[in-house]
């Protein structure tokens, strides 16, 4: 099984540019999560989807951030316009259910640097 796939692995761009991060969850997983990891704040949940529908986006920091899941095998996280404080590692994770004994499976992340 291929695991959660994220692209790109690294992104360096200038302030003000649009950034799009991509995620392919594990096939058959109904839940998809976007996290951000920084030294100061650790790992924070930004948004999660169930069956392609956003369930909770209370962690999205600002209107500059948006996420979509057009189908069960693809999701994007977009930042427009980007700012230096958005620099972080962004992780996507998926799971087959919320409750019980099913852990979340994480991708290797996208390391984003905004200059």
Task: Verify cis geometry, omega within 30 degrees of 0, for the bond prior to 89.
Answer: no
Least Å distance, CB 58 to another protein, is 7
Q: Nearer to another protein by C-beta: 15 or 99? A: 99
- 8 A C-beta contact, residue 69 and residue 52: yes
- 8 A C-beta contact, residue 69 and residue 55: no
Residue 33's φ and ψ, nearest 5 degrees, are: -125, 140
Q: Nearer to another protein by C-beta: 71 or 99? A: 99
Selected binder of another protein within 25, 29, 34, 48 (CB under 8 A): 48
Footprint of another protein (CB under 8 A): 4, 31, 33, 42-45, 48, 55-56, 58, 91, 93, 98-109, 111
């Amino acid at each position: 099984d291929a695991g959660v796939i994220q692209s790109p692995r690294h992104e360096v761009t200038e302030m003000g540019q649009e950034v799009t991060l991509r995620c392919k969850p594990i096939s058959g997983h109904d839940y998809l999560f976007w996290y951000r990891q920084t030294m100061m704040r650790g790992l924070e949940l930004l948004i999660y989807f169930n069956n392609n529908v956003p369930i909770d986006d209370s962690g999205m920091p600002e209107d500059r951030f948006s996420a979509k899941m057009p189908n069960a095998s693809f999701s994007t996280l977009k930042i427009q316009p980007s700012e230096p404080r958005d620099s972080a590692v962004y992780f996507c994770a998926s799971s087959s259910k919320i409750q019980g004994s099913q852990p979340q499976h994480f991708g290797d992340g996208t390391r984003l640097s905004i200059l």
